[in-house]
Structures are given as structure tokens and as C-alpha cells.
Amino acid sequence: MQIFEAAPPESGPSLALHGGAGGRVEELALAPYAQGLLAAYRAGWQVLAAGGDALDAVCASVEVLENDPQFNAGRGAALTATGSAELDASVMTGAGLAGAVAASKYARNPVRLARAVMEHTEHVLIVDPDVEFLERYGIEAAERGYFITEARQQQLDRVTDGRAVAARHGTVGAVARDARGHVAAATSTGGMTGQSDGRVGDSPIVGAGVYARDNVAAISCTGHGEAFIRGVVAYDVVARIRYAGTGLAEAVRGTFEEELTQRGSTGGLVAVGGDGRIVVAHNSPAMFSARGSGPEPALTT
């Protein structure tokens, strides 16, 4: 397992984001991912540097990644067994508010839809919302073909033909602590290549793929979704800190060992503590991430 830990800043905000955990990528193919991560980080940091909220920052970062077809979220998301894109996303604030969407087929940016669920409805999770639902809350819709790229179609064909194994990883997410000390998290994904229509992973499940609590931590996960749901991974990390007084890195390590590694599952997460400390961790071969407490992040690809 690999853990990267950055000490809390003397003052000011912190931001970390991930572009999915999984297998290693050939060196020559890393540049587009690095560029995408950098663009997403700068979008979130611009919000924080201007004194903005942690929620605005994580949504800004995730939206950039959803628009980048290199990543498994929004446009360029993994396709189901029938060749369609079913998108999941969630947001949570350190004050305990949360919103999520599962099997979204029309929202250009599912993270915006998840936020709308949180801010404009009495619900936490909405499944398969129609275009009318999006229009009601001013969420931009896209034709279903917008989400499908040639690369993802070829990936599905290889899985369908038995030439490749469906990757269980590939999600984007961000966590932030703003200048006022509030934290927030957001996660977005297209799921697994070749998954059954209607399958929902951990990304839109509060406590599994996302969790935030002020003065404790904010978590966004990526990996084998079913394992993260069974282990309630995001919440388990926060609970170890909140109830046992465990440090952030130690809490992440303990949760991964007990809920993932010992069960033969892999993945990763980004976390920011209530003090602004950042932890990036994964037990998969690699994970794309960016983290920092300033305008230029440290990148891991």
C-alpha cells in the first residue's frame, strides 16, 4: 500500500483530487492525464484562493474531470454491457449535507446534478432522473451519444469479446478544506466497463465512496465499488478519527487493511483532515492524483 501525507498548511486551504485508481499506464500515455489533473486542480484552487467554499472548489475540480474524456466520469465514461453510459456522482459538506445521483443518463455534469439534489430537494439520492428533472433545477442536459467515445467503445468491445477483463476502477473525486476550516468532498464515475445496466457502485453512496465532517475529514474514494460499499470505507476512516482519536494516515491505513486488502480488493482515496492535512492512498498498482496547499500541486500518475 502506498500513502502520501502532506502536513497541514500554516494557514489557508488545502485541496486534493484523484482521477482513478487501477493499473499502471505506459509512460508515453501519462501526459494527458497529468494535464487533466493539473487543469482540475487549478479550477478548484482558484475558488479556494478567492476565499470560496470547499464545496464550490471540489465541484469545480470534478466538473473539469467530467469534461475530460481521459477520465471515467462524464464524457468518456465507461460503458455498460449494452453500450450506454450510466453515471453516478455525489457531494457532501462537512456540515452533514449530501446529495447524489445514480444511473444518470442525461446530465452533462453529474456532479452538478448531485449538488442540485442536495440543495433543492428533500432527498439525498435520485436514481435515473429524466430531462424534465434536470430542467427543473437548471442542470444542462446532453444527448446520450455525447458521453460515448470511440476509446470507451473499443474498450467495451474488448471486454465483450473476452480480450480484456473489465476494470473495477476508474472514478474521479476531490476533497477540500477552505479558509474558514470547512471541508467538502465530491465523487463522480461511469462505473465498470461492461457492467450490468442499473448497477450502482460506491461513488453515489454516502459513507462508501464519499464522506465529510467538519473538524474531522473529507474523503473521496475510487476502486472496487462493491468492496467500498461493504466496508463503508469513507465513513470507516472518519469514524476511526472521530471515535478512536486515530491520525488521518493511520486511519486510512487501518481501514484499507481490514476492509480492502484482507478481502482481496483494491482501490484508493484522497482525504483532507480538519486541520488541512492531506493524505493520498491506494493499494492498487497506481492512482492518478493532485494535491497541495498552493497554486501548483504535487502530481502522482
Active site residues: 171
How far is residue 110's CA from residue 238's CA, in Å, rounded to a whole number?
A: 25
Residue type, 236: D
| N-terminal to C-terminal alpha carbon distance within the chain | 15
How far is residue 8's CA from residue 276's CA, in Å, rounded to a whole number?
A: 5
Q: How far is CA 158 from the centre of its chain?
A: 26
Q: Would you say 184 and 94 are in contact if contact means Cβ atoms under 8 Å apart?
A: yes
Task: Collect contacts of 121-125 with beta carbons under 8 A, ≥24 apart.
Answer: 123/99, 124/98, 124/99, 124/100, 124/206, 125/99, 125/100, 125/101, 125/204, 125/205, 125/206
**3-class DSSP state for residue 254?**
helix
Pair type for strands 171-177 and 125-127: unpaired
Q: Would you say 94 and 79 are in contact if contact means Cβ atoms under 8 Å apart?
A: no
Would you put residue 59 in left (φ > 0), alpha (ψ -120 to 50) or beta?
alpha
The alpha carbon dihedral of 65, 67, 71, 77 has a sign of: positive
Neighbours of 181 (CB within 10 A): 14
